[in-house]
Structure 1
Amino acid sequence: MTPAINPEVDLTLTRQIKASPATLWKCFITPELLCEWFVPAPWKCADAVIEPHPGGRFFSLFKGPEGEEMANEGAVLLAEPEHRLVFTDFFKAGFVPNETPFMLADITLTPKDGGTEYKAIVRHRTPEDCQKHADMGFDQGWGAAADQLATLAENL
């Protein structure tokens, strides 16, 4: 069961994608596929490691158009194949606390209308962190990534 949305600390995104939950799951847990869609262009995902089990590593390396790099080291909290993936940067692999926690992503994939309802709930520790993420362009960035996911999944 997913806790209720708290608008002070949670951001959400929902998309209907014309692909099966199995295909979307594959796009999340296969590093090469994740790197094709996970970061909004013109940024790129240059590397990823996904271990889809509680305590497994969830790592991604983003590269910007000017050579910027942003490493994201986290852990998987919950992995229900083809249904739900929860990951966070509150922890590193093995549930080792992270020095700079920011967010938790709760992704659900629900069969609907011949495709999948993709829903992301992104939870933050404080209202300030939530606002920072919104100001960074959460709606545009996560929305662009979701559109890239749809394009990839619908063509697999």
Structure 2
Amino acid sequence: MKNNLQFDFLVDKKENTLTIRREFLADRQLIWDCYTKSELLDKWFAPAPLTTKTKSMDFREGGHWHYAMVEPNGTEYWGYTTYLKIKPIDYYTSLDAFSNAEGEINKDLPSAEWLVTFIDKGENALVETIVTYKSLTDLEQVVQMGMEQGMLATLEKLDQLLLTINK
């Protein structure tokens, strides 16, 4: 089944930003929950065939999400998100970085500030994510690492999860 859902992936090298817009066949509250509850994030937040596991999550301003994307062979890629500002079902801002299993930030890999906005689009929800990097070098590095393909594959996993939730 192929839907004509909006997907935009825009690179702005002047502002060092990625803008990702993605439409989902669900209402805004459900999409908000999928982005902000670890038991739902663990079901979709990694491109296939990777899976996600949460080590700890405290979704509040000043809180965090410490998680790993796990390959089928068991290799783990850790991330650490710090939540800055939250306006429930409208938006949140966060700092996102690569880390180790102990939650120590990897300073050798790019970190970024994320603004994730949830918008009604008829019966669907649109999520707009603006990711701001500290430098053009950092932006180019994540693009080279396959950020667009990874986001596309990850958001398709959310589509699949929504099919099971919306039944």
- Checking the alignment, whether the CA contact within 8 Å between 1:63 and 1:70 is kept in structure 2 is yes
By percentage of residues, which structure has more helix? 1
Q: Which residue of structure 2 lines up, in the alignment, with residue 108 of structure 1?
A: 117
Matched, 1:89 2:96: yes
Q: TM-score, normalised by structure 1?
A: 0.83
Within the candidate set 33, 58, 73, 1:51 is matched to 58
Give how far 1:52 is off: 2.2
- What is the rounded CA distance, in whole Å, between the counterparts of 1:142 and 1:88 in structure 2? 17
- What is the rounded CA distance, in whole Å, between the counterparts of 2:133 and 2:105 in structure 1? 14
Instruction: Give the letter for the 2:129 counterpart.
Output: A
- Checking the alignment, whether the CA contact within 8 Å between 2:56 and 2:66 is kept in structure 1 is yes
Q: How many residues align?
A: 147
Q: Which residue of structure 2 lines up, in the alignment, with residue 77 of structure 1?
A: 84
Q: Which residue of structure 2 lines up, in the alignment, with residue 133 of structure 1?
A: 142
Within the candidate set 70, 74, 79, 1:67 is matched to 74
Within the candidate set 123, 131, 134, 1:122 is matched to 131
Q: TM-score, normalised by structure 2?
A: 0.78
Gaps of 5+ in 2: 1-9
- SS of residue matched to 2:83: strand
Q: Give the CA RMSD over aligned residues.
A: 2.2
- Checking the alignment, whether the CA contact within 8 Å between 2:63 and 2:82 is kept in structure 1 is yes
- SS of residue matched to 1:120: strand
- Using CA pairs under 8 Å that are at least 6 residues apart, name the structure with larger relative contact order, 1 or 2: 1
- What is the rounded CA distance, in whole Å, between the counterparts of 1:86 and 1:146 in structure 2? 19
